[in-house]
Structure 1
């Protein structure tokens, strides 16, 4: 059981660290708004994970995965949402607004409640409509569920434990990403650099959306 748990931790740590749409949205919101916005985006992503955990425990994930119509609806809706966010980033032109640059030396810019709510919503919806998260809860996590002879925990109890480990690792990693990206703001005073970075971030998010459409 212990060896299986260690293997699981290694696998999900690698999966959490692989750049994906969640990471790009966190980076974009941290740069465009503040460290707080990055953390709130992460909170939205974790809320999405908790939703899929509940769905997995009650067995609805099996129904969704077994229904091509529902699965594809989630996949394409998520892809279109990522493309929308990417287009918005490319149109913004800059990632750090002029008023935020005034607070760069303290690394804390005032952010409106509306912006924080939008950051949470982006993280939550992007995670909720990510078919790879569904696949994660349907295929990868169940592979590490031990048999009844190896542990006293039931199937759903193990699913919850493994999911919470995944969520904990994701929180640690993405908080580190937020802090590192926030430090980059010290080098963000060039609007030419910002313009290219904003378009680059938007393009990457759009590519993640297109990859989801054409390659699943």
Structure 2
């Protein structure tokens, strides 16, 4: 396979991934939460958690394991239920923070998992994100040549992980700047409520979508 053919495969994947990243969702919200409530280091750890999740999903996709979701729909259903439930859990934590004055007013042991364990939380959000499962399980696989060499699969997976790290780090760096953090801190209570509504809303949408399939 020549370089032009490899380029023709990698560029569309990068474009689609970037467009997907630009669409607001659980991944963004997790990085923002960590960044504005615990600072740049926490935001970057969350970004790396998302990147690690993207790398894991891409390895699943290029290895062909994603076909399992098509052969065994209950697995995909379980993933979506867990993802929706976990988002609601994060939302409830945000509401609890609001009752105590807001996310900036909490002691470390009372803060949200998105703040106290940003990498782990972001990784779990990414791995249980139905949008990620859709992207890596169907959209991405459409661009992967079925007879591609092992080295090409490795390059695709590495590119996805690297691009996820870069894009989410940009978000973390922006939302952890002093002016942005001060703005969020001045509206700590409102920010907690908004984060709670967004997390719970996203989780509820996932569960509602599942429920619609059985109605």
1:170 matches 2:175: no
Contact 2:37/2:115, CA 8 A, preserved across alignment: no
Pick the aligned partner of 1:97 from 80, 105, 112.
105
Equivalent-residue separation in structure 2 for 1:134 and 1:98 (angstroms): 34
Q: Identify unmatched segments of 5+ residues in structure 2.
A: 211-215
Aligned to 1:109: none
Contact 1:88 1:202 in 2 (8 A): yes
1:37 corresponding residue in structure 2: 42
CA distance in 1, matches of 2:14, 2:199: 27
Aligned partners of 1:37 and 1:71: how far apart in 2?
A: 30
Q: Which residue of 1 aligns with 2:152?
A: 158
TM norm structure 2 = 0.79
Deviations 1:141-198 (A, max 9, x none): 22223476xxxx52x54343223222222211211111111121132442xx211111
Question: 1:34-183 alignment to 2 at 5 Å?
Answer: 34-93=39-98, 94-97=102-105, 118-146=117-145, 153-154=148-149, 156-183=150-177
Separation in structure 2 between the aligned mates of residue 51 and residue 7 of structure 1, nearest angstrom: 20
Check conservation: 1:26, 1:38, Cα contact below 8 A: yes
Q: Alpha carbons of 1:200 and 1:81: their partners in 2 closer, same or farther (altered >3 Å)? A: same
Paired residue secondary structure (1:60): coil
- Identify if the C-alpha distance between structure 1 residues 4 and 57 changes in structure 2 by more than 3 Å, giving closer, same or farther: closer
The root-mean-square deviation of aligned C-alpha atoms, in Å, is 2.6
Q: Residue 90 and residue 159 in structure 1: after superposition, are their counterparts in 2 closer, same or farther (change >3 A)?
A: farther
CA 1:161–1:199: 2 relative to 1, 3 Å: same
- The size of the alignment, in residue pairs, is 197
User: Using the alignment, how far apart are the partners of 2:97 and 2:70 within structure 1?
Assistant: 36
Deviates more, 1:178-187 or 1:91-100: 91-100
CA deviation vs aligned residue, 1:118-146 (integer Å, no higher than 9, x gap): 22221111111122222222212222234
Give how far 1:5 is off: 3.4
Displacement of 1:73 after TM fit? 0.7
